[in-house]
Amino acid sequence: MSPRRLDQRELATVSRKLRAWFKRHHRKLPWRETRDPYRILVSELMLQQTQVARVIDFYGAFLERFPTLEVLAGARAAQVREAWHGLGYYARARNLHALAKQVSRERDGALPSDPAELRTLPGIGPYTAGAVATFAFERPAALVDTNVARVLLRLFAPRTSPKSARGQRRAWEIAEAALPSRGATAWTHNQALMELGALVCTARVRHCARCPLRAHCATYAADRARASAAA
Ligand code: SF4
């Protein structure tokens, strides 16, 4: 099966269904209740390689201790490490601390909203730049993490592995093409893609029967064709 060509009208329909599903089924998470760039950034760094339930335990306590970027910038490395203790992957904490110091020194404590500028900061890759730009500033910026790549490729390029360089490129192309142009709509669209990957189209199980996108999904169509051929 060759990858499907992307049809703009279908992508718009996919986005609309995805956003409608998200409005009904999303989890209430503390970082979805704020547009504070610093708080969004902290959540995004904590969520890298770490389960949501675990991050919730640490997120509130960390922000109580370091409520603003300026407070974090003024903290000692040992204090930051202590607050991060138990979350693992301490490079994230070191990067966050270095970023806070740099943004405090060079930008008067204000994080940039442009993904390209965000990517120049310590620890910020393409995914995190897109996430902060969209979730904090409501800028239409594409984002692709492991979950999003898996969902997009299952939908539109089912033979392409999300772990391959080609799969990553293809996932970014689809994410860009599917992104709504209005910022607030892009916020919901990106949150919804990530939520679908976490709750419905997961790494371990595809819950296609309750997926709002199955009418558009190449993987689902291939499963059905296989089942019919075997019957
Ligand atoms: S229909 Fe199934 S494979 Fe396709 S996106 Fe939904 S859950 Fe994933």
Whether ligand 1 lies within 6 angstroms of the CB of 192 is answered as no
Whether ligand 1 lies within 6 angstroms of the CB of 201 is answered as yes
Q: Encode pLDDT of 28-85 as tens digits.
A: 999 999 999 999 999 999 999 899 999 998 999 999 999 999 999 999 999 999 999 9
| pLDDT above 90: percentage of residues in the chain | 94
Q: How far apart are the CA of 25 and the centre of ligand 1, in A? A: 16
Whether ligand 1 lies within 6 angstroms of the CB of 157 is answered as no
pLDDT at 159 > cutoff 60: yes
CA distance 60 to 69: 15
List the domain boundaries for the chain: 8-27+141-226, 36-137
pLDDT at 5: 73
Mutate to test the pocket of ligand 1, among 17, 153, 154 (most ligand atoms within 8 A of CB): 154
Contact criterion met (CB below 8 Å) for 113 and 137: yes
Task: Tell me if the domain spanning 36-137 has CATH number 1.10.340.30.
Answer: yes
Block residue for tokens 């490490």: 81
Q: How far apart are the CA of 212 and the centre of ligand 1, in A? A: 8
Whether ligand 1 lies within 6 angstroms of the CB of 220 is answered as yes
Whether ligand 1 lies within 6 angstroms of the CB of 214 is answered as yes
Angle at Cα 106 formed by Cα 182 and Cα 79, nearest 5°? 100
Q: How far apart are the CA of 175 and the centre of ligand 1, in A? A: 16
pLDDT at 4: 64
Contact criterion met (CB below 8 Å) for 36 and 44: no
pLDDT at 3 > cutoff 60: no
pLDDT at 111: 98
For the domain made up of 8-27+141-226, give the CATH fold.
Endonuclease Iii, domain 2 (1.10.1670)
Mutate to test the pocket of ligand 1, among 10, 151, 152 (most ligand atoms within 8 A of CB): 151
Contact criterion met (CB below 8 Å) for 31 and 187: no
Whether ligand 1 lies within 6 angstroms of the CB of 194 is answered as no
Nearest residue to 44 via CA among 155, 123, 137: 123
Q: Which atom of ligand 1 is least distant from the CA of 214?
A: 1
pLDDT at 201 > cutoff 50: yes
Residues annotated as part of the active site: 44
Identify the residue whose C-alpha is closest to ligand 1 atom 2.
208
Q: How far apart are the CA of 35 and the centre of ligand 1, in A? A: 30
Stretch 194-217: mean pLDDT, rounded? 97
